[in-house]
């Protein structure tokens, strides 16, 4: 699937798929992105991580499906 738009991931989700979707969109490691997000949230009182996550959860649409869910297409030969 092409990286088109931003969506909440159906594959790489722990809570709502926000960080997994961002990681898939930009080709980053989802686990590393989550660790960085938590560290920045904990270390900075001016960065309300939980509030930002909830807003992203509400604003970013859910991914409808991903390639593993897509039906297999077979090529049929016509005689």
Note the pLDDT tens digit of each residue in 53-66.
888 888 888 877 65
Considering the domain boundaries, does residue 24 fall inside one?
yes
CA distances from 30 to 67, 73, 74 (A): 18, 29, 33
Chain segment 22-70, per-residue pLDDT in tens:
888 888 898 998 899 888 888 887 668 888 888 888 888 887 765 554 4
pTM, full prediction: 0.65
Backbone dihedral region for residue 28 (phi beyond 0: left; psi -120 to 50: alpha; all else: beta): beta
3-state secondary structure of 65: coil
Tally of structural domains, the chain: 1
Is there a domain that residue 59 lies in? yes
Please report whether residue 7 resides in a domain: no
Is 75 part of a structural domain of the chain? no
């Amino acid at each position: 699937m092409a990286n088109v738009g931003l969506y909440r991931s159906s594959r790489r989700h722990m809570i709502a798929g926000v960080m997994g979707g961002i990681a898939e969109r930009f080709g980053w490691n989802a686990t590393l992105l989550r660790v960085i997000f938590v560290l920045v949230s904990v270390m900075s009182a001016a960065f309300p991580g939980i509030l930002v996550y909830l807003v992203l959860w509400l604003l970013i649409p859910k991914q409808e499906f991903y390639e593993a869910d897509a039906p297999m297409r077979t090529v049929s030969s016509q005689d």
